[in-house]
Amino acid sequence: MTNAVEIQVISKILTSDDEGLVNELCAFDSSYYAVYTKHIEFILNHRSRFGTAPDVFTFLAEFPDVTLVEVSRETKEFLIEGLKQNKQRILLLNTFNKLKDLGSGDVTEAWEFLNQQCETANQLNDTQPMNIIAEAKERADQVVEWSKSARIPTGFAELDKLTYGGWSTVEELVALVASTNSGKAQPLWSKVLTPTGWVRMGDIKVGDVVVGENNDNGRVVKIFPQGEVDYYRIHFSDGTFAECCGNHLWKVLDKNRRIRKNKNYGQHMVLTLDQIRTDYKDKKYSVDISDAIEFESEFNLNQDVELNEFAHQIFLDKCIPMCYFTAPVQIRKDLLSLLISTYGHPSSTDILWEFDFDSESLVREVAELARSLGLFVIIRNCDNESQGFSRFSCICYKDNCKFIEDIEYMGKTECQCIMLDNVTHTYLTDDYTVTHNTWVCTKMMEAAHRAGFPVAFYSPEMQSSYVATRFDTWRAHFKNSDLFQGKYTDDYKSYLEALRDDPVPAFIIEDKDMPDGVSPRHLETFIKQHGIKLLIIDGISYMSDDRRASSEYERLTHISKDLFQISKKHGCAIVVAVQANRDTKDAKDEKGVPFPSIYNIAGSFSIVQIATQVFAMRQIFDKHVFEIKLEKTRMAKNDKNILSYSWDVNTGNMQYMQGDESEDPMLDIPKATDIIANPVGPDNTGLDLMDLMGGEDDVEF
């Protein structure tokens, strides 16, 4: 670091055309240099004799072994602060050397020298806090100026009104607290389907791709070990079962949502197993059967010649080779058709086909093959004791779902959750059963950019191109499930062409973009370089600390404080999404889903303590509702307002729902229907701070 800042300053002096900057840098004499002392003395002597710094040619003629460096990105403040820290290191080193030389017999002289060095170091502190007495007019004018500053829309019109226009560009550190109360915890031995076959839950790794509902495949972005927890076995109407813990999510329909005349027909609910266990016998919950699975396996087979021969061999061997279970869909369909045509029975009203054979293992393999093709099948033992033979049957029905028939407590075992980046957030577990994180940040990003503010989004868990599809969905309501799979319409391609002409930048930062680690210092450089006015951080725990920390709590505290200082210094609002721990069981209200506790932030509570505003968020899956609750603010009357929205993130449509929870007259919004109709976006046109505040009386400090 010493060598770096010294040669950076020297290079800046020799190459800069800014005479004022050169004067400021030359105000630091050679005592601020440890390695390039002779070099800076040559420059300063040249300025003293000729009135200007030497040019590069003159300097290199004197010091041919020196290599100057590019310093276009380093600011004056960075270089000056570096020199001061350099001087402090030099003083510290000189102090240790002097005390060592003095020895134990020169205690008095040692103390005198130490005090002198401390005094010299203190003089390097040029802190100049505001004198609110002498600078009374200046500070008053500053408040007026700040009140006129543009505010950044949040993407939620009602939240903008609650926050007097959106995020502040004077100073703003916002914490969005999301709950991790709902997960996908399963025993480590549970099977998870991947594009190449089944994998044990305990063997899943971050980066693995797993098969989602209807081939909405997703990448595992995070794994959450749960330790030993209670787990249950769910028995389905097709004779299959799956095992999971109580907070595992399931996408289900109840008996009312399967009746066509009901208004909520076909609208799935996403419930935890604990919720399902309370009333499953009465509600008759069903789970959809996924479409035929598309595997990613190489399979070379001449269907016209080899498939018939191979089917015959299957009956002789009484088993289906494993490679056929991951063969292309059409190969599996053709093979199943051949097997059924040989040992099948005609279909009836409810039955598509029935396959009989004297080998239970082969019948079970046929059932697995059928389930991989999205078919509902059950297995029956057709033993006829009087005639002395055993026979087994695989029966395929026309159903497209299977029912939860029983839930059995099994005990305790090691479990874990996986977080996916696919649209449906589902994956297929044992026997091809479908099971069931935030879009808020990308909505805020899109709203700020649309209002003309340069924005940046730190995404440690999802690649930039995938995050960008969510931006597109919020901006123009393209179906995200299609974008995520690269299914582009001509309208989308035209949209992309037009988007390129927008002069306002929007960046998505990944860890690979900053090889030394995404830290507050590196983000500050990026903010200054691109004029960023809103920085969103969706993963503060992944960030690097610019200082030494002795614990994880201290590390996150350092990062939180540094981010707030960056916001104040550069007028950039910073929004940080954090997670609460899983201990909000007793905080459920009549809606059955708790708001996360801000006092149990994963890793560190410091971000909530420092933040200017804190919001808790929850999603009520079965009602397609998202809610934001104001928990802390320095600039608004805080009545714990709850803002409710019906929304469909897959199409980027959202509508505010006026509920009983929000009685604040500031939120005088027309009541919305429960069904999403038209997108609602923030509109701050013509609003200033005082208009949004509705006067001064509502402000609470």
Q: Give the pLDDT band of residue 36 (cuts 50, 70, 90).
A: very high
pLDDT in the model for residue 667: 42
CA distances from 24 to 9, 13, 71, 84, 208 (A): 11, 10, 16, 13, 54
SS3 per-residue string spanning 26-48: CCCCHHHCCCCHHHHHHHHHHHH
For residue 336, pLDDT over 50 is answered with yes
Q: What is the CATH number of the domain that holds 33?
A: 1.10.860
Q: pLDDT digit string (tens) for 5-18?
A: 899 999 999 999 88
Query: Which pair of structure tokens corresponds to residue 421?
Result: 């980046």
Residues 307 and 283 in one domain: no
Q: What is the CATH number of the domain that holds 668?
A: 3.40.50.300
- Backbone φ and ψ for 187, nearest 5 degrees, come out as -55, 150
pLDDT in the model for residue 262: 86
End-to-end CA distance of the chain: 43
Beta bridge partners of 179: 580
Q: Is 134 a member of any domain? A: no
Q: Is 298 a member of any domain? A: no
Residues 407 and 365 in one domain: no
Cα–Cα distance measured from residue 394 to residue 366, given in angstroms and rounded to the nearest whole number: 7
Q: pLDDT digit string (tens) for 505-517?
A: 999 998 888 878 8
Residues 584 and 681 in one domain: yes
Residues 55 and 71 in one domain: yes
Q: pLDDT digit string (tens) for 235-244?
A: 999 999 989 8
Q: pLDDT digit string (tens) for 458-469?
A: 988 777 888 898
Residues 276 and 228 in one domain: yes
Residues 239 and 111 in one domain: no
Residue 586 three-state SS: helix
Higher pLDDT, 589 or 317: 317
Q: Is 128 a member of any domain? A: no
For residue 688, pLDDT over 50 is answered with no
Residues 308 and 273 in one domain: no
Q: What is the CATH number of the domain that holds 327?
A: 3.10.28.10
Q: What is the CATH number of the domain that holds 198?
A: 2.170.16.10
In angstroms and rounded to an integer, the radius of gyration of the C-alpha atoms of the chain is 33
Which of 337-351, 363-377, 555-569 has the weakest average pLDDT? 337-351
Residues 390 and 408 in one domain: no
How many domains are contained in the chain?
4
pLDDT in the model for residue 503: 95
pLDDT in the model for residue 640: 65
Q: pLDDT digit string (tens) for 464-488?
A: 888 898 899 999 999 877 787 688 9
Cα–Cα distance measured from residue 234 to residue 245, given in angstroms and rounded to the nearest whole number: 10
Cα–Cα distance measured from residue 59 to residue 61, given in angstroms and rounded to the nearest whole number: 5
Q: Give the pLDDT band of residue 677 (cuts 50, 70, 90).
A: very low
Residues 361 and 422 in one domain: no
The DSSP bridge pattern shows strands 392-397 and 401-420 to be unpaired
Q: Is 127 a member of any domain? A: no
- Backbone φ and ψ for 397, nearest 5 degrees, come out as -100, 170
Strand (E) or helix (H) holding 454: none
Q: Is 130 a member of any domain? A: no
The DSSP bridge pattern shows strands 534-537 and 573-580 to be parallel
Q: Give the pLDDT band of residue 584 (cuts 50, 70, 90).
A: very low
Which of 28-32, 413-417, 425-429, 653-657 has the weakest average pLDDT? 425-429
For residue 43, pLDDT over 70 is answered with yes
Which of 37-51, 171-185, 370-384, 388-402 has the weakest average pLDDT? 171-185
For the residues of 262-323, what is the DSSP string, one character each? Answer: STTTT--EEEEHHHHHHHHHHH--EEEBPPPP---------HHHHHHHHHHHHHHHTS--GG
For residue 116, what are the domain limits? 2-122
Residues 568 and 689 in one domain: yes
Over residues 574-590, mean pLDDT: 66
Q: Is 131 a member of any domain? A: no
Residues 266 and 413 in one domain: yes
For residue 71, pLDDT over 60 is answered with yes
Q: pLDDT digit string (tens) for 243-271?
A: 988 878 788 899 998 998 888 888 887 77
For residue 319, pLDDT over 60 is answered with yes
pLDDT in the model for residue 556: 86
Exposed, middle or buried: residue 172 (CB in 10 Å: 0-12, 13-18, 19+)?
buried
Over residues 49-62, mean pLDDT: 92
Q: Is 75 a member of any domain? A: yes
Cα–Cα distance measured from residue 621 to residue 182, given in angstroms and rounded to the nearest whole number: 11
Cα–Cα distance measured from residue 587 to residue 600, given in angstroms and rounded to the nearest whole number: 13
For residue 302, pLDDT over 70 is answered with no
Higher pLDDT, 256 or 300: 256
Residue 428 three-state SS: strand
Residues 174 and 104 in one domain: no
For residue 585, pLDDT over 90 is answered with no
pLDDT in the model for residue 551: 81
pLDDT in the model for residue 674: 32
Tell which residue, 214, 208, 226, 217, has the closest CA to residue 251. 214
Q: Is 48 a member of any domain? A: yes
Q: What angle do CA 222, 223, 224 make, to 5 degrees?
A: 120
Q: pLDDT digit string (tens) for 305-315?
A: 566 777 778 88
